[in-house]
Amino acid sequence: MPKSKRNRPVTLSKTKKKPGLERKGRVVTEIKDAIDHYTSVYVFTYDNMRNQKLKDLREQLKSSSRIFLAGKKVMQIALGRSAADEAKTGLHKLSKFLQGDSGLFFTNLPRDDVERLFRDFEEHDFARTGSTATETVELKEGPIEQFTHEMEPYLRKQGLPVRLNKGVVELVADHVVCEEGKPLSPEAAQTLRLLEIKMATFRLYLVCRWSSDDFEVYKEGLAQLRADDSS
């Protein structure tokens, strides 16, 4: 008589941990290690995240600093969510500011250098679908010579009223690509890219700072965090 699959023994020692739990545990350990290696910790928020730009910044600062972008609860657990379980005195104060689009910046840099770095940091890039247009872009009727004749079918797919006239792409009517304050459609985002118009700016904002003898909140960054969290 065949054995029932329901009655098969399970060897618990061979049960694999879930990759997600292992990854979270590793992040907690790395943050706890960072607490011991850096003199100050900042919570920061951001606009228009660009992963490659952040990777470049990490590389630039790797000798003095470390950036963490992880699950908020994971970062809070590593820091401590109350005075009773915080890793160092006062660290739990950072946890309540880990909300919305936020991360941790560990560093040995002086405060003035960090504030200058975050204040001056900005990277311009092409806006993505759903982003808010920062200006109205309107194309006037007539030739648009920056596009080759091979692109005419593709431009029509993006909603542009174009035709070929003696091998030159031309608009047969005025065309509004996007309007200031309104979200970009997929077609508008792609057209702006073709026109090489960059409407997105990747920015970083300091929200608060912890050191062994001080804690500070930055009003501008806190306002940005709250605005992002409510949107």
Q: Note down pLDDT in tens along the chain; length 231 residues.
A: 445 444 555 555 555 556 677 888 899 999 999 999 999 999 999 999 999 999 999 999 999 999 999 999 999 999 999 999 998 999 999 999 999 899 999 999 999 999 999 999 999 999 999 999 999 999 999 998 889 999 999 999 999 999 998 889 999 999 999 999 999 999 999 999 999 999 999 999 999 999 999 999 999 898 888 887 665
Closest CA to 65 of 53, 57, 76: 57
Model pTM greater than 0.85?
no
The pLDDT, as a whole number, for residue 7 is 54
Query: Can you state the angle between helices 19-37 and 72-79, rounded to 10 degrees?
Result: 40
Amino acid 231: pLDDT: 58
- Residue 61 identity: L
Measure the CA–CA gap between 77 and 25, rounded to whole angstroms: 10
- Please report, for residues 46, 63, 167, 181, the alpha-carbon distance to residue 201 in angstroms, rounded to integers and kept in the order given: 10, 26, 36, 15
Q: What angle do CA 137, 125, 139 make, to 5 degrees?
A: 15
Please say whether the beta carbons of 117 and 147 come within 8 A. no
Model pLDDT, residue 8? 54
Q: Which domains does the chain have, with CATH numbers?
A: 23-126+200-229 (3.30.70.1730), 131-195 (3.90.105.20)
Distances in whole angstroms, Cα of residue 32 to Cα of each of 26, 45, 77 = 10, 21, 10
